[in-house]
Chain A
C-alpha cells in the first residue's frame, strides 16, 4: 500500500531551528512536496524535491533521499507566524499526491 508518515505534533522555540521528518512508501515516485496549512486555511506550497539533496529557499529548506524514502523540512529562525501544520505529500506513478496527516508545529516564545 501507499503510506506517508510524519510526526503528529512538534514544539519549538521562537528563533530556534526545527526539522520535520517524513517517510513515504508509494507505488512509483515522482517527487515530494511540502505544504504549509494555518488553522482554518487552505494548504499553500512550500517546496518540491525530486532529486536527492537539499533545496534551500530562504528560512525553509527541504531534503530528499529517494533510496531511503525519506524527506525533511528544516525551518530556521522560527517566528510565531510559522505556527501551522506542515503537510508532506509524495507524487506516485500516476502523479496523484499521497498526503501525510500533517505535523502541527507549535512555536513558543
Chain B
C-alpha cells in the first residue's frame, strides 16, 4: 500500500520544453490536488479534481493543464515550461473535498527550468 506516489522525483527542463508530472494513488480517494510549494510561501493549489473525468482550476492554474482519466491517476502537464515554474510540486488526495477530510501527500517532484 504505497498511498500516493509521484513520478519523477526530480527533473531539469529547458525553457519551452514540455513534460507531464504523474500522480497515482491506491487509496481509492475521490479528490486529488496539485500544489506548488515555493520558498517562503504557503502551498498553492494549481488544479484539483473531485472525481474521475472532472477537473477544476485552483489559485494558480496558468501555464498548467491536468487530466483525470482514471480515478487513481492525476496528471499535471506543462506545455511550455518557464523558469517561474521552478519549484517543488506536491500531489495530494482526500476522500472528498469536504473540509473534515485530511489530505495525504505524495513525496514531491522537484522541477528546475533553465
Main secondary structure of the interface of B (DSSP, over half): loop
Q: Shortest beta-carbon distance, A84 to chain B, in Å? A: 14
- Is A27's CB within 8 Å of the partner chain B? no
Q: Shortest beta-carbon distance, B1 to chain A, in Å? A: 16
Cβ A101 vs Cβ B102 within 8 A = no
Cβ B102 vs Cβ A42 within 8 A = no
Given the known inter-chain contacts A43-B105, A45-B103, please indicate yes or no for A95 contacting B58, CB distance below 8 A.
no
Which of A42, A48, A91 has the most chain B CB atoms closer than 10 A to its own CB? A42
Cβ B100 vs Cβ A50 within 8 A = yes
Cβ A99 vs Cβ B99 within 8 A = no
Please report the total number of A residues contacting B with Cβ < 8 Å. 22
Expressed in whole angstroms, the Cα–Cα distance for A28 and B98 within the complex equals: 13
Chain B contacts for A43, CB-based, 8 A: 43, 90, 105
In order of increasing CB-CB distance, the 7 nearest A-B pairs are A99-B42, A30-B99, A91-B99, A42-B105, A45-B102, A31-B99, A99-B43
